[in-house]
């Protein structure tokens, strides 16, 4: 397993907890999100048909094996989604990012961006990862704005069957420089 199993990160009303700490009710909601046709469509995927017990076993198995570093997102204490790093290659310093806000009433309110900021800060602070990549549907402008706000650089579009995916990447050095600059703008007396 990568990172602290009992870690909690917080910024305002957004809190991240490791996926392994989710309650049975949180797992049921998480499973529902992956079965939702609209949510799956935003990822260019189909809804899953795994039963809850198997879905939970697969995700927890990947967490425990170190194949995934996942965080459950809570807003005002209520579970609403996840931020996950997968295809982890610590020996090459690479990870792929995925994010899901499953509560549709929370879409477009900045909670995903805040959760991503917390998770990226944690991953890059581990010191073992130097590059994070991701893909999102080319037409998903809300997601693309969020990624760009965090410093991700657009690297191109790839046709994948019936979908076109926009690809992004973020290097650790760019992340550190951007966040140092943001901290200095907020607190000019620090430098």
Confidence of residue 74 (pLDDT cuts 50, 70, 90): very high
Give the global pTM.
0.90
Percent of the chain beyond pLDDT 90? Answer: 77
> What pLDDT, on the 0 to 100 scale, is given for residue 67?
87
pLDDT for 63 beyond 50: yes
SS3 107: coil
pLDDT for 130 beyond 80: yes
What value does the mean pLDDT take over residues 11-16?
96
What value does the mean pLDDT take over residues 37-62?
92
pLDDT for 61 beyond 90: yes
> What pLDDT, on the 0 to 100 scale, is given for residue 190?
44
Percent of the chain beyond pLDDT 70? Answer: 93
Q: HSE, CB side, 13 Å, CA atoms: give it for residue 123.
A: 34
Write out the two tokens for 42: 């935003």
CATH architecture group of domain 8-190: 3-Layer(aba) Sandwich (3.40)
pLDDT for 187 beyond 50: no
Distance of CA 75 to the CA centre of its chain: 15
Sorted by where each begins, the domain ranges of the chain are 8-190
79-110 residue pLDDT tens: 999 999 999 999 999 999 999 999 999 999 99
What value does the mean pLDDT take over residues 107-119?
95
Confidence of residue 14 (pLDDT cuts 50, 70, 90): very high
Phi first, then psi: give them for residue 83, nearest 5 degrees: -125, 125
| Total Cβ atoms within 10 A of residue 113 | 17
> What pLDDT, on the 0 to 100 scale, is given for residue 42?
86
CA atoms of 147 and 135, how far apart (whole Å): 10
DSSP letters of 118-174? HHHHHHHHTSS--EEEEEEETT-HHHHHHHHHTT-EEEEEEEETTEEEEEEEEEHHH
> Look-up: residue for tokens 């949180």?
26
Q: Where are the alpha helices (DSSP H) in the chain?
A: 24-35, 37-42, 52-65, 111-125, 141-149, 172-186
Averaged pLDDT score across all residues of the chain: 90
Q: Enumerate long-range contacts of 20-23, CB under 8 Å, 24 or more apart.
A: 20/60, 20/63, 20/64, 21/72, 22/72, 22/79, 23/79
pLDDT for 186 beyond 80: no
């Amino acid at each position: 397993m990568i990172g602290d199993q009992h870690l909690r990160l917080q910024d305002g009303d957004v809190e991240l907890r490791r996926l392994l700490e989710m309650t049975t009710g949180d797992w049921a909601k998480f499973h529902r999100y992956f079965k939702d046709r609209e949510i799956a469509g935003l990822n260019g995927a189909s809804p899953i048909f795994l039963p809850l017990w198997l879905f939970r076993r697969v995700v927890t198995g990947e967490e425990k094996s170190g194949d995934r570093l996942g965080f459950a997102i809570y807003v005002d204490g209520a579970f609403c989604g996840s931020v996950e790093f997968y295809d982890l290659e610590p020996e090459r310093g690479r990870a792929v990012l995925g994010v899901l806000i499953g509560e549709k009433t929370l879409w477009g309110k900045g909670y995903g961006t805040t959760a991503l900021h917390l998770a990226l800060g944690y991953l890059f602070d581990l010191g073992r990862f130097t590059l994070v990549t991701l893909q999102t549907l080319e037409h998903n402008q809300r997601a693309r704005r969020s990624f760009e706000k965090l410093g991700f650089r657009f690297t191109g579009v790839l046709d994948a069957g019936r979908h076109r995916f926009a690809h992004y990447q973020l290097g650790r050095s760019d992340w550190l420089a951007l966040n140092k600059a943001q901290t200095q703008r907020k607190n000019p007396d620090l430098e």
